[in-house]
Amino acid sequence: LLAIPLIALTVGLGFFVQQSAFVPIISQFGIFFFCYLLIFIYANEKSNLIFFIGVSILLRFILLFVLPNLSDDVYRFIWDGRLLLNGHNPFDFLPSYYIENNISIPGINEALFQTLNSPEYFTIYPPVAQGVFALACWLFPNSIIGSAITLKIFLFLCEIGSLFFIKKLLDHFQIPEKNIVLYALDPLIIIELCGNLHFEAAMIFFLLASIYFLVKNSESKLAGNLQVLPNFSTKKSDLKMDNNLGSNWKLPPKHLILSATSMALSIASKLLPLMFLPFLIKRLGWKKSIQYFAIVGIVIVLLFTPLLSGAFLNNFGASLDLYFQKFEFNASIYYVIRWVGYQVVGYNWIQSAGPALAVIVLLGILTATFLENNFTWKNVFGKMLFAICLYLAFATIVHPWYVSLPIVLCLFTRFRFPILWSGLIFLTYINYSYGEYFENLWMVGIEYVLVFLFLIYESPQPLK
């Protein structure tokens, strides 16, 4: 009975609503989210879990055959892919350069240019994404829908892979299997990743694969000891055992290579997993860490090499600068700081505040790494969750799909505030319902007040 409305709501959100139709979006999403919570609460039997995982795959499959209707990023994907397919580096010039100079490139034309949501900015998509863009355009050089379906198939396969690794990791750490439902059926994950074509799906898949290969061959005795510990618990005897982990655990070379390669692919899908690397040092030990980071670095260099040019660093860096110094959307702490800036200096000081907040995030992650004294692999998910949420708390822009990474990480911890966040962040779609884009700060306030209150409720000792 619950599967039927999920199918109907997926069809409704994926096929029949537009970005500006806030009431249909939020009403359908709200019902979907309510059904999703009911399923998680009551689906305790293994047969039920298998059934609903199958339903989650079906819902993703349904969305394969329609253009994204809540995001227009796909057109920039196709623009970049067509440039690559014709031997042009998408990092070299702004889209307007090709139109203004009447440069003849198959598929690069005024009609496609008019669909771009950021034609005045250099592309910012890393090499894994760019490679998939090029593949999609190679298979369907003249068809936007064909290219879009190809991109969706790739992300669909990534999502299937993510479900596989979530199941494996839950079993490894003896965490309840039903936690997989929190990712598999979360409407934000289904609608934003497979539906609206966001490459967080690829990032998450490769990140989970990387962690899985790191923990797979841990010693059975050590794994058994870790599995009986409550989440985030620390005992003196366990600390002694964990402190010896880095120096005594012999990671087979093939798993080191597989994990490091997967981590590099995750970083080359979205850059965010770079912030997780410090948490691996104490768990691997310095010797293994050097080997691991060397492999990650080599693979990343190999992936970026086809895109390197004289303009790459300047233009890619310019896009990152714009991200931290100009873009604003659904921020939390930054909006408070922005308000203070208006009161103190009389203008928006994002150009200085954005980079400063990024430095604060970096220092926070490094401090958490330095102070950590519980080096279990089970605990690494909590540290990663802390890092990404710290980043998002100080970010100047937080789109709904950015919450997908906290969602998957929280499955292996006691925290559930990312689940609430995934339900509330869809309120931001109200911004597109006005005649011109307008950010409704009341909705932003409701979203973050409730999320932070729930985090406080869950976290009497949030850094434990």
- pLDDT of 389 over the 80 cut: yes
Give residues with Cβ within 8 angstroms of 456, minimum separation 6. none
CA 52/CA 39 separation, integer angstroms: 8
- Residues of 196-226 as b/e, b for ≥16 C-beta within 10 angstroms? bbbbbbbbbbbbbbbbbbbbbebeeebbeeb
For the segment 344-372, the average pLDDT, to the nearest whole number, is: 83
Handedness of CA 385, 388, 391, 393 (dihedral sign): negative
For the segment 54-77, the average pLDDT, to the nearest whole number, is: 96
Helix (H) or strand (E) segment spanning residue 364: helix 350-371
pLDDT at 111: 94
- pLDDT of 7 over the 70 cut: yes
pLDDT at 322: 64
- pLDDT of 51 over the 70 cut: yes
Kindly indicate the confidence band of residue 461, based on its pLDDT and cuts at 50, 70 and 90: low
What one-character-per-residue DSSP string does 296-318 give?
HHHHHHHHHGGG--TTHHHHHHH
pLDDT at 235: 41
DSSP state at residue 414: S
Beta partners for 397? 329
Contact yes or no for 251/288 (Cβ under 8 A) = yes
pLDDT at 321: 67
CA 411/CA 211 separation, integer angstroms: 14
pLDDT at 44: 80
Q: Tell me how crowded residue 93 is: count the other CB atoms within 10 A of its CB.
A: 17
Nearest-10 crossing angle of helices 3-15, 46-62: 20
State the average pLDDT for the chain: 88
The pLDDT tens digits of the residues spanning 250-308 come to 544 688 899 999 999 999 999 999 999 999 999 988 888 999 999 999 999 999 998 88
- pLDDT of 80 over the 90 cut: yes
3-state class percentages of the chain: helix first, strand second, coil last, to nearest 5: 70, 0, 30
- pLDDT of 173 over the 60 cut: yes
- pLDDT of 121 over the 90 cut: no
How far, rounded to the nearest angstrom, does the alpha carbon of residue 251 sit from its chain's CA centroid? 28
For the segment 16-26, the average pLDDT, to the nearest whole number, is: 95
Beta partners for 329? 397
pLDDT at 428: 96
CA 293/CA 401 separation, integer angstroms: 28
Q: How much of the chain, in percent, has pLDDT values that exceed 90?
A: 70
- From residue 329, how far is each of 55, 72, 201, 322, 336 by CA, in Å? 33, 16, 21, 13, 13
Q: For 52-61, 89-98, 342-351, 447-456, which range has the lowest pLDDT when averaged over its residues?
A: 342-351
The pLDDT tens digits of the residues spanning 439-458 come to 999 999 999 999 999 999 99
Question: Higher-confidence residue: 321 or 166?
Answer: 166
Kindly indicate the confidence band of residue 212, based on its pLDDT and cuts at 50, 70 and 90: very high
pLDDT at 139: 97
pLDDT at 26: 97
Q: Which residue has the tokens 């597989």?
A: 258
Q: For 99-113, 173-187, 221-235, 262-276, which range has the lowest pLDDT when averaged over its residues?
A: 221-235
